[in-house]
Amino acid sequence: MNMYADCLEMTRSDHQHKQAHLSAEEILELAERGRRCPRYEEYIDHITECAVCRETYKQLLRAELTVRAARKRVWTPTLRIWVPVAAAAMLVLFFGVWILRSNSSQSLALRQVNGVWYEGAMRLPDWAFAAAAQFERPPTPTTRDVQDTAPPAVRLIRPNPANAALDSLTPEFQWERATDAVRYRAWLEHADDTLKINLKVDGVRAMLPEGAQLKAGEEYRLVVEALSADELAGEGLRAVYEFRTLTPEQQERLLWARANRSQAPRACAVIFYQLGFYADVLETLNTLPNEPLVQQWRAAAQEQIRLR
């Protein structure tokens, strides 16, 4: 059964993308109608030269012959033997037709051709294939409760606070103007409190000092303090945002996912989730049909944003 399914799948995939083989419908028509098929000679000529189509045709033909034989013997004493055989043959035919004709987005999304994995027409690196395969296993929703809190005193705009990671080692920050604030202070703290970097603030924007950059693969806290006219440094309202930086390998995967999200949305959605770019997850999922798996991934990303 597995070898038969593999043959059918190879025929369907190759015909769709290379037009090198007969289609599923053409092979089925040939097996069912034989010489009555209008393009019999053309199909037979192709099967004579094509090993893949020939093997698929042989499997379908055997199943068809078994069914016909079972029909002739249905009233004989061997009924108990042939009915199960015929049922098995019909199951083979049904399974093959399902593989060849299935139009579900998930079955067409991930496929293998000559040992290479694709999502749609996009060839996937090994690590991207692993991510695409993970799409069928959405994360288990967390049960951690988060108490409702007041909105932050300073609402961050850039980088997107929904994401847990920074896409650059030299990030720039921007926030909304806070009520009554006339100036701001901003700095980055290393997660272990061993380092503090004062940022250069210009209105509602801030950046690293000239020539400075963050360390790859580390965790940081961004602190923004809004000061009114009569407040001194340390007396204003503060907002704290936590981020981590990417390693070079993670940065490469992020760039790949952002460049190919339209061609390989399932692989890219999982990659974004693994890297902590939850806003990118939601944006990518919005391009897919609202299927149960998509709904589960969307819920998982929204939950991570809520926990931030």
Largest CA distance in the chain: 103
Whether residue 257 is contained in a domain is answered as: no
pLDDT tens per residue across span 69-81: 655 554 444 444 4
Query: Is 241 contained in some domain?
Result: yes
Residue 176's domain is classified under what CATH number? 2.60.40.10
Question: Residue 31 falls within a domain, yes or no?
Answer: yes
Number of domains in the chain: 2
CB 7 within 8 A of CB 52: yes
Answer yes or no: is pLDDT of 199 > 50: yes
- Min mean pLDDT across 34-48, 65-79, 92-106, 274-288 is at 92-106
My answer on whether 92 and 162 are in the same domain is no
pLDDT score at 186: 97
Report whether 216 contacts 198 (CB < 8 A).
no
**Domain assignment present for 141:** no
Comparing 72 with 211, which gets the higher pLDDT? Answer: 211
Q: Is the model's pLDDT at 106 over the cut of 50?
A: no
User: What strands lie across the sheet with 110-113, from one edge to the other?
Assistant: 110-113, 116-119, 122-123
C-alpha to C-alpha distance for 100 and 76, rounded to whole angstroms:
35
Residue 229 in domain: yes
Tokens coding 185 = 């202070």
Residue 269 in domain: no
What is the rounded distance in angstroms from the CA atom of residue 12 to the CA atom of residue 26? 11
Q: Which amino acid is at 7?
A: C
pLDDT digits (tens, 9 = 90+) for 235-262: 999 999 999 999 999 999 999 999 999 9
What is the model's pLDDT at position 36?
87
Mean residue pLDDT of the chain comes to 81
User: Quick one: 172 and 100 in the same domain?
Assistant: no
Same domain, 96 and 170: no
98: which residues sit within 8 A by CB, 6+ positions away? none
Structure tokens at 239: 């907002």
In a domain, 177, yes or no: yes
Average pLDDT over every residue of 135-156? 78
Token pair for residue 155?
């609402």
Kindly indicate the confidence band of residue 3, based on its pLDDT and cuts at 50, 70 and 90: very low
Quick check: is 146 in a domain? no
Domain containing residue 68: 2-104
